[in-house]
Structure 1
Amino acid sequence: MEISCKSEYAILALLEMASHYESGEPMQIRQIAAQQNIPDRYLEQLLATLRRGGIVKSQRGSKGGYLLAREPWKITIFEILECLEGLDVQLNEKDTNAKSVDSSVVGEIWQEARQAANAVLQKYSLQDLCEKRNSRRQLDIMYYI
């Protein structure tokens, strides 16, 4: 399983927004794009999709920008990927009826792998990613001292 460029950029942008969540101030696209090295136009499209999915909200005006719609610990990585990629968590029943025994066995294994991956993605929130990043940064700082 690989993460798409679209999903990676979106998660990086949301990670940046989660880092600034406590301030309550909206972040502008150019701020996020500069911090995470994401093309502005592409980020604009991603944030529009995430807004429609209820993960972020936008605020208009001179001090406008984007904010997380909920607390970082309430937004799972699975939810983000589902919004962007439209993850299919269930196998179609009609697909299983039309397959041979061999295909059914392969399909069952693939479904089990998907369920395991989805369980991991549902386990981690944006807050968890922030904490992992911060602990790695601390280790890097200590290493260079």
Structure 2
Amino acid sequence: MELSCKSEYALLAVLELAAAYREQEPLQIRQIAALHDIPDRYLEQLLATLRRRGIIRSIRGAKGGYILAKEPWKTSLFEVMDCIEGLENQNKGSNTTPETIDQGVVREIWREAWGAANQVLQDYTLQDLCERRLAKRQLDIMYYI
């Protein structure tokens, strides 16, 4: 299992939206893109996908942009990743009967690993991501003092 560029960019974008949640000020694509060096057009497509799935909302107008659709502590990383990568359906294709016992054993372990990874993503919320980033930033500041 590997974190795709697509998923990483989506998580970075919702991390910024989660950090700005309290102010309820929408962030514009160019703001998020500049913070993380993400191509605007690519980010626009990712945000459109997240909007269609109800993870974020768009606000129109000159001061418009994007905000989270619900509180950061109510949105899991799994929801974001599933929206972008379709995690729910990715492992269902391997339900075919294995040709050999060896293949069966390998598939069992793979399903177990896949389930564990999905559980970790379900256990963490956008709020957890914000808190972890804040803690790391504070440690980084302390290091330089």
Q: Secondary structure at the match of 2:92?
A: coil
**How far does residue 126 in structure 1 lie from its aligned partner after superposition?**
0.7
Is residue 121 from structure 1 mapped to residue 127 from structure 2 by the alignment?
no
**How far does residue 37 in structure 1 lie from its aligned partner after superposition?**
1.6
Is residue 132 from structure 1 mapped to residue 132 from structure 2 by the alignment?
yes
Unaligned residue ranges in structure 1 (runs of 5+)? none
> Does the Cα contact within 8 Å between 1:89 and 1:115 map onto a contact in 2?
no
Letter in 2 for 1:114: W
Summarize deviations over 1:53-86 as a string: whole Å, max 9, x none: 1101111111111110111111111111100001
Is residue 57 from structure 1 mapped to residue 47 from structure 2 by the alignment?
no
Number of equivalenced pairs: 144
> Does the Cα contact within 8 Å between 2:94 and 2:107 map onto a contact in 1?
no
Write out the 4+ residue segments of structure 1 that deviate beyond 3 Å after TM superposition. 89-94
Q: Secondary structure at the match of 1:58?
A: strand
Q: Provide the TM-score with structure 2 as the length reference.
A: 0.93
Q: Secondary structure at the match of 2:54?
A: coil
**Distance in 2 (alpha carbons) for counterparts of 1:80 and 1:22:** 20
Identity of aligned residues (%): 63
**How far does residue 92 in structure 1 lie from its aligned partner after superposition?**
4.9
**Distance in 1 (alpha carbons) for counterparts of 2:72 and 2:31:** 19
Is residue 67 from structure 1 mapped to residue 84 from structure 2 by the alignment?
no
**How far does residue 91 in structure 1 lie from its aligned partner after superposition?**
3.5
* TM alignment of 1:18-37, pairs within 5 A: 18-37=18-37
Q: Provide the TM-score with structure 1 as the length reference.
A: 0.93
> Does the Cα contact within 8 Å between 2:91 and 2:114 map onto a contact in 1?
no
Q: Provide the residue aligned with 1:17 in structure 2.
A: 17
